[in-house]
Amino acid sequence: MSLLVVGSVALDSVETPFGVKEDVLGGSATYFSTSASFFAPTQVVAVVGEDFPQAHLDFLKARGVDLEGVTREKGRTFRWKGRYGFQLNEAETLDTQLNVFQSFSPRLPEKYRDAQYVFLGNIHPELQSQVVDQVKAPKLVAADTMNFWINGSRAALLKTLKRVNLLFVNDAEARQLTGEHNIVRAARAILGMGPDRVVVKRGEYGALLFEQDHIFACPAMPLAEVFDPTGAGDTFAGGFMGTLAIASQLNTETLRRAMVMGSVMASFTVEKFSLERLREVTRSEIRARFAEFKRLTHFEDLGPLED
Ligand code: AMP
């Protein structure tokens, strides 16, 4: 089933304790669509500037990603600069240059309007809303956001949330959005803002799925080497939405499996800088890591426990 993403296609400059990279491929739509492309045909709506290397678009095309909705405009590509300390769970944003995103108004090609699964990647909430306006009858609209928009465009974000079925946030964003420190309370508060499902990502501690009556917890893969967490969240969302888009149903069971596939895909992204690991990963590695997750979390029934 068709999967649509709107988000940033970016040039990132990233500093981690393990190195510095300037103007490398990044952006929420880039990580999302690359990750989702292992599972389902993915359509992208985004804008790049005159300076964006054609080779990056060729890479996405080679992965089967549909770029009809990506336009190239006069001006510079969106740029994000971030830094991570040894505590790799949260990025410190050093600079955000919206550039061509400043005057962007997403227009969906006709064939994108039938999309069943929609992911509103991390961009201005008004732009996210404009995409929802143009999709005819989506089965699931999911969104992501970040502190930049929670602080800077809160009213617009709250409006967008009313039109969203599922929100992806990290724990710091969940706290910031709701004013609740406790994650369970924060998730419940988000469920009162519009979405009926919330995924709270907690970096190396895994992710939690909250539905009205259920919580599902998925660990992160315990990795000995983590180089660059940039894009982990969008890669997670790509694996999650990609597996849902090819599932025969949308229910608690398929959502739980989607949580695991999100975690599988994110575990690859963080192993190298930018999209380097996602470029080389194979479906058989993905299958193997999915099986590792199953072993990682499997345990026997308790059996009798006598008094
Ligand atoms: P994450 O998956 O949360 O690590 O997202 C990382 C990606 O988000 C980076 O590749 C950035 O290019 C992109 N990004 C960072 N800030 C923004 C923003 N304010 N709007 C859109 N995209 C952003």
- Expressed in angstroms and rounded, the spacing between residue 151 Cα and the centre of ligand 1 is 15
Which residues have CB under 8 Å from 146's CB, separation 6+? 122, 173
Residue 232 near ligand 1, beta carbon < 6 Å: yes
The residue whose CA is least distant from atom 20 of ligand 1 is 123
Q: φ and ψ at 217, to 5 degrees?
A: -115, 130
Please name which of 231, 232, 258 lies closest in space to residue 244, comparing C-alpha atoms.
Answer: 258
Average pLDDT of the chain, as a whole number = 96
The pLDDT assigned to 89 comes to: 77
Give the integer Cα–Cα distance in Å for 123 and 89: 21
Give the nearest ligand 1 atom to 26 CA: 10
Query: DSSP secondary-structure letter at 66?
Result: E
Residue 231 near ligand 1, beta carbon < 6 Å: yes
| Average pLDDT of the segment spanning 201-229 | 95
Residue 26 near ligand 1, beta carbon < 6 Å: yes
Residue 48 near ligand 1, beta carbon < 6 Å: no
Residue 148 near ligand 1, beta carbon < 6 Å: yes
The pLDDT assigned to 292 comes to: 97
- Expressed in angstroms and rounded, the spacing between residue 7 Cα and the centre of ligand 1 is 9
Residue 99 near ligand 1, beta carbon < 6 Å: no
Q: pLDDT tens digit string along 74-113?
A: 999 999 999 998 888 788 999 999 999 999 999 999 999 9
- Expressed in angstroms and rounded, the spacing between residue 283 Cα and the centre of ligand 1 is 26
The residue whose CA is least distant from atom 15 of ligand 1 is 80
Residue 275 near ligand 1, beta carbon < 6 Å: no
The pLDDT assigned to 205 comes to: 94
Pairing between β-strand 3-6 and β-strand 117-120 as defined by DSSP bridges: parallel
- Expressed in angstroms and rounded, the spacing between residue 306 Cα and the centre of ligand 1 is 53
pLDDT reading at 4 higher than 80: yes
Best residue for ligand 1 mutational test, from 5, 9, 80 (most atoms within 8 Å of Cβ)? 80
The pLDDT assigned to 125 comes to: 96
Place of tokens 């064939």: 111
The pLDDT assigned to 307 comes to: 84
The pLDDT assigned to 53 comes to: 98
Give the pLDDT band of residue 284 (cuts 50, 70, 90). very high
Please name which of 72, 126, 122, 119 lies closest in space to residue 99, comparing C-alpha atoms.
Answer: 72
Q: pLDDT tens digit string along 154-204?
A: 999 999 999 999 999 999 999 999 999 999 999 999 999 999 999 999 999
The residue whose CA is least distant from atom 13 of ligand 1 is 27
- Expressed in angstroms and rounded, the spacing between residue 77 Cα and the centre of ligand 1 is 13
Range list of β-strands (E), the chain: 3-6, 10-16, 19-26, 42-48, 66-72, 79-83, 92-97, 117-120, 140-144, 166-170, 197-201, 207-211, 215-218
Global pTM value: 0.96
| Average pLDDT of the segment spanning 24-41 | 97
Residue 207 and residue 200 in contact, taking contact as beta carbons nearer than 8 Å: yes
The pLDDT assigned to 28 comes to: 96
Q: pLDDT tens digit string along 220-250?
A: 999 998 999 999 999 999 999 999 999 999 9
Please name which of 211, 219, 193, 217 lies closest in space to residue 251, comparing C-alpha atoms.
Answer: 211
pLDDT reading at 1 higher than 80: no
The residue whose CA is least distant from atom 5 of ligand 1 is 231
